[in-house]
Amino acid sequence: MAHALSDCWTMTRRELARWGRQPVAVVVGLVFPVMLLVMFGYLIGGGRGVSGEYVDYLVPGMLALTMAFGLEGTMIAVTRDLDRGVIDRFRSLPMTNGAVLVGRFAADMLQSTLGLAMLIGVGYALGWRAHGGPGAFLGAVGLLLLFRFAMLWIGIFLALVAGKAELVQAVQILVWPVGFLSNAFATPDSMPGWLGTVVQWNPMSQTATAVRDLFGGPGGESGHLWAALAWPLALLAVFFPLAVAKFARLSR
């Protein structure tokens, strides 16, 4: 067990070392969601069907959207290691199988947590406030990170299927509907009936709605809490073993 943890930590430090070699990519990943928040909050507007302050509706939606997007960095890193034979070189070492994936996953979760904290800070600067109390606040952050956890393993599986870094962009497009066919920017009630139904069943919409409720803002419904927990766990139950099995086959 100690050996496995040591291997995973070594791979995590390897991924974190890339931050120093590629600081622009890290900064862009952190700043891009902020640009979207400002753009939709002040330039594009929106808020169809929203009662109350739009910023109180928008910020939780943007937090959920950020957890769904930005997977391409992890996907490219995984495919690049496979394509360049890095995985084969690691196999020749006395290293725990799967430590490479765990290291990449841990680095992504750390960056996602930093991005979440940064976006929350910007939201406060724009006038957004969480009204649900400390416990509800931490619960909302936990739901967001759980959703990221699930989306990350979907991304890793898709990257392993793609196999090459140049194909990642095409595969990444498959994730876009999760973000944009959601209630991040407007309520499902303001949409055509069929589209509103699709949006309501979107896993990200469930997370955004539950988070809005925990933050005490408009658009929140307490009944969505269990769905916000069930969807990521169901996605994990499917894509985590698929990713691990695919990685095992490719690294033989």
Which one-letter amino acid corresponds to residue 54? Y
What is the domain range of residue 171?
A: 2-250
C-alpha span between 196 and 182 (Å, rounded): 9
Q: What is the pLDDT of residues 182-214, one digit of tens each?
A: 888 888 887 787 888 888 888 999 999 999 999
pLDDT value of residue 92? 63
Structure tokens that stand for 49 in this block = 């069907």
Distinct helix (H) and strand (E) counts, the chain? 12, 0
CB burial class (10 A; 0-12, 13-18, 19+) of residue 11? Answer: buried
Work out the number of other CB atoms within 10 angstroms of the CB of residue 74.
24
**∠ at Cα 149 (145, 151), nearest 5°?**
115
- In contact, 168 and 157? CB cutoff 8 Å: no
pLDDT value of residue 43? 47
pLDDT value of residue 23? 66
- What's the total number of domains in the chain? 1
Q: What are phi and psi of 69, to 5 degrees?
A: -100, 175
Work out the number of other CB atoms within 10 angstroms of the CB of residue 1.
6
The alpha carbon dihedral of 220, 139, 65, 114 has a sign of positive
pLDDT value of residue 141? 95
Residues with pLDDT less than 70, the chain: 1-11, 13-52, 85-98, 165-172, 174, 250-252
